[in-house]
Amino acid sequence: MHSDVIVIGGGVIGLLSAYQLAAEGKRVTLLDRGPAGGEASWAGGGIVSPLYPWRYSSAVTALAHWSQDYYPGLGERLLSQTGLDPEVHVTGLYWLDLDDQTDALAWAQRAGRLLHEVPVESAYAAVPQLGAGFERAIYMPGVANVRNPRLVKALRAALLGMPMVTVLEHRPVEGFMSEGTRVVGVRMGHEELLADQVVVAAGAWSGEILQSLGLALPVEPVKGQMILFKCTEDFLPSMVLARGRYAIPRRDGHILVGSTLEHVGFDKTPTEDALASLRASAEALLPALKDAEVVGHWAGLRPGSPEGIPFIGEVPGREGLWLNCGHYRNGLVLAPASCQLLVDLMLGREPIINPAPYSPAMRLQL
């Protein structure tokens, strides 16, 4: 089988890359080592903003701003195409007692983003369940969260409905096929698949996959654990973040609380210590959660990268090999812009933003 493009990785970055490429008329084969969407894209919180956007470089926030504007339309389009609603839910976000609140407000003014200081009393009025003792608050009204497990289901369903797309799950890639310096396909056991272009969008596993070509990609797994409560639908009207932990409301009353940051390799085992820590944070932030049922506790592996800046572009000296990986804590946030930028570059057209900060040519040790 010969494709125009093979996309390695079925998380939100791979799914959306394949979706946008197929929309441009490309014949796409999407490969995943497990079920599509079963790793970090499923496990994350789905806040459509970096947790602390002012702490990131402009390379990250440029992608985030483009994506934030794109998400509502994407959600509507996927619902129309598949009947599955990714639930792009605009709730706003309160940050409480930030150490760098002054930096946050200065960044918002420079970047032209709606983020402002509010009296802490108004935060308590808006979110009556907040724990006592918070003294300062800032608020960003337009922030949404997306129900990421439903987003990846909707993207997968959309791809299965596109005649130009083949989705192959539980098919780990073991190596690449090359003609000289050009990458022309992939190997999966005894099977070989050919393509004009190959995109690596394999999240935390991207570095491992590229090792067979002698490429050292600085992307490593960073474990994050989350817990899920079930509450009434009106329990939490807005997202809240304090002391490094956040609570995210879903439309049906589920409340996500996260998350840990652990450098433990590819271990995804949930731990009792993390459960206790997350529960304590949840109850300090929203004391009524003490009486709520924990209905889920899991771990995922973020693709950690230097400064959290993804690698997007063609690998120099390996014609036909493209990267869209290394999004660290912001894969869901940055996915629409990252994938649009990739498609622009692959099609040789004017990119949506300056591609230089993400270029593998500038950042890989070759």
Residues 318 and 298 in one domain: no
Residue 81: inside a domain, yes or no? no
Residues 212 and 226 in one domain: no
Residues 214 and 239 in one domain: no
Total structural domains within the chain? 2
Residues 119 and 134 sit within 8 Å (Cβ to Cβ): no
Q: What is the pLDDT of residue 1?
A: 74
Residue 61: inside a domain, yes or no? no
80-103 pLDDT, tens digit each: 999 999 999 999 999 999 999 999
CATH number for the domain spanning 25: value is 3.50.50.60
Is the confidence at residue 224, as pLDDT, over 70? yes
Residues 226 and 298 in one domain: yes
Q: What is the pLDDT of residue 348?
A: 97
Q: What is the pLDDT of residue 36?
A: 95
How many other CB atoms are found less than 10 A from the CB of residue 68? 19
Q: What is the mean pLDDT of residues 262-279?
A: 96
Which ranges of 5-131 would DSSP assign to H, the alpha helix? 12-23, 40-43, 58-82, 101-111, 120-126
Q: What is the pLDDT of residue 366?
A: 60
The residue length of the chain stands at: 366
User: Which amino acid does the sequence have at 216?
Assistant: A
Range of the domain at 201: 2-54+150-218+306-363
Residue 74: inside a domain, yes or no? no
Residues 167 and 160 sit within 8 Å (Cβ to Cβ): yes
Residue 323: inside a domain, yes or no? yes
Tokens 């079963």, residue located: 38
Residues 100 and 237 in one domain: yes
Residues 310 and 264 in one domain: no
One-letter-per-residue 3-state SS of 169-237 = CCCCCCEEEEECCEEEEEEECCEEEEEEEEEECCHHHHHHHHHHHCCECCCEEEEEEEEEEECCCCCCC
Q: What is the mean pLDDT of residues 52-74?
A: 95
Q: What is the pLDDT of residue 311?
A: 98
Residues 107 and 208 in one domain: no
Task: Output phi, psi for 161, to 5 deg.
Answer: -90, 0
Question: Please, which residues bridge with residue 94 across strands?
Answer: 139, 240
Residues 233 and 189 in one domain: no
Residues 297 and 255 in one domain: yes
CATH number for the domain spanning 226: value is 3.30.9.10
Q: What is the pLDDT of residue 78?
A: 97
Is the confidence at residue 364, as pLDDT, over 90? no
Q: What is the mean pLDDT of residues 53-60?
A: 95
Residue 60: inside a domain, yes or no? no
Q: What is the mean pLDDT of residues 155-176?
A: 97
User: Which amino acid does the sequence have at 345?
Assistant: L
Residues 294 and 195 in one domain: no
Give the chain's mean pLDDT. 96
Is the confidence at residue 162, as pLDDT, over 80? yes
Q: What is the pLDDT of residue 362?
A: 82
19-31 pLDDT, tens digit each: 999 999 999 999 9
Residue 315: inside a domain, yes or no? yes
Q: What is the pLDDT of residue 38?
A: 93
> Where does the pLDDT of residue 271 fall: very low under 50, low under 70, confident under 90, or very high at 90 and above?
very high
Residues 137 and 165 in one domain: no
302-344 pLDDT, tens digit each: 999 999 999 999 999 999 999 999 999 999 999 999 999 999 9
288-308 pLDDT, tens digit each: 999 999 999 999 999 999 999
Q: Which of 253, 283, 304 is the last residue of a domain?
A: 304
Q: Which of 304, 327, 352 is the last residue of a domain?
A: 304
Q: Which of 283, 304, 325 is the last residue of a domain?
A: 304
Q: What is the pLDDT of residue 189?
A: 87
Percent of the chain scored above 70 by pLDDT? 99
Q: What is the mean pLDDT of residues 67-85?
A: 96
Q: What is the pLDDT of residue 365?
A: 65
**Nearest CA-CA partner of 76 in 65, 67, 86:** 86
Q: What is the pLDDT of residue 363?
A: 86
The pairing of beta strand 144-145 with beta strand 254-258: unpaired
Residue 75: inside a domain, yes or no? no
Q: What is the pLDDT of residue 244?
A: 92
Residue 128: inside a domain, yes or no? yes
Tokens 């005649």, residue located: 163
> Where does the pLDDT of residue 357 fall: very low under 50, low under 70, confident under 90, or very high at 90 and above?
very high
Residues 226 and 347 in one domain: no
